[in-house]
Amino acid sequence: MKTKAAVTFGLGQPFEIHEIDVAPVKADEIRLKMVASGVCHTDAVARDLEGVFPLPGILGHEGSGIVEEVGADVSTVQVGDHVVLSFASCRHCDHCLSGHPTVCSEFNPLNFGGVLAGGQTPYSLNDQPLSIFFGQSSFSQTVITKADNAVVVDKDVDLALLGPLGCGLQTGAGTVLNRLRPKASEGIVVFGTGAVGLSAIMAARVIGCYPIIAVDVHEHRLELAKELGATHVINGSTTDTVAAVHRISGIGVPYAVETTGVAAVVKQSLAALKPLGVVAIVGFTGEVSLNIQNELMAEGKSMIGVIEGDSIPKIFIPQLIALYKQGKFPFDRLVQFYELDQINQAFADSASGAVIKPVLRLNG
């Protein structure tokens, strides 16, 4: 069958809308009519950095849609189900079987390798294969994916809102709720108040952390952070961030979440910790120079990497939706909608900081 999709042909090139071919559903796959897809920084990284993702291809990895067809071997998903798509994992390695699919032994080839498990992509344009991203490629009006990648969700919530739960929002919230697990009244500082950082802040408020400190350079984002749960905000462009954290907390905080990927900010996140504190690095981060003795070991601090919030999507995404229904995780405050043909504007607005979480409406 044919469908419309936003195709990426080369590094740094703008998205182009084309009619593409979609292969028939295989036994362990499902076909979705897509409703929406979030725009995530990881999509921009895959588009712009050499060697991350084989091009040409279709990006998008925060998809939500309605099941239109299921393969012969599929029993966990039914036609008509509303689903959110998340990252792909093998489901059989030690990490998957022990409840940590985000560090699946096959995570990189399954999500960034350009093909589904089995070595093929369901998408093509003029007989040229188009690489599949995160096992879904949700910047398409029709998606083929493995049934195991789909999380069935309640039908009483606007499905167009839910796609970002599959990556960015579960990354921020899961880093706090699943990995750091602070206790009520324990302090946390979040560096960067994009979708990931604000999700971490909302999760910290659910727990009852205090103080909850938000750090950013955009005043409008800091204002929203206060509305969503931050007890204190720091503008890193005008304030000595580490000194301000210590002034607020007394000795530093036990937990930090670093979302920016900026080397200088990573170092600040370590310096803001009290002894034995832990910082979770969740942003796409390159080389950072550290004095291990002075900045890490001398005070028993820990720096850990967290992928996708250390989440099991089929468990965690419904939990986040339940919190949303209770008014405790109002992630709809982050979203601004765009049509598929506005995808390049959506990415520009995300990069500039004008919009926190752009979401593409895919089928009108």
pLDDT band at 364 (very low <50, low <70, confident <90, very high): low
For the domain spanning 2-166+330-361, the CATH number is 3.90.180.10
For the domain spanning 175-306, the CATH number is 3.40.50.720
Exposed (0-12), middle (13-18) or buried (19+): which is 306, by Cβ within 10 Å?
A: buried
SS3 78: coil
Tell me the pLDDT tens digit for each residue of 71-82. 999 999 999 999
Tell me the pLDDT tens digit for each residue of 124-139. 999 999 999 999 999 9
Q: What are phi and psi of 357, to 5 degrees?
A: -135, 90
Q: Are 253 and 232 in contact (CB under 8 A)?
A: no
Tell me the pLDDT tens digit for each residue of 23-44. 999 999 999 999 999 999 999 9
Global confidence as pTM: 0.96
Q: Are 91 and 81 in contact (CB under 8 A)?
A: no
Tell which residue, 283, 69, 307, 87, has the closest CA to residue 194.
283
Domain ranges within the chain, ordered by starting residue? 2-166+330-361, 175-306
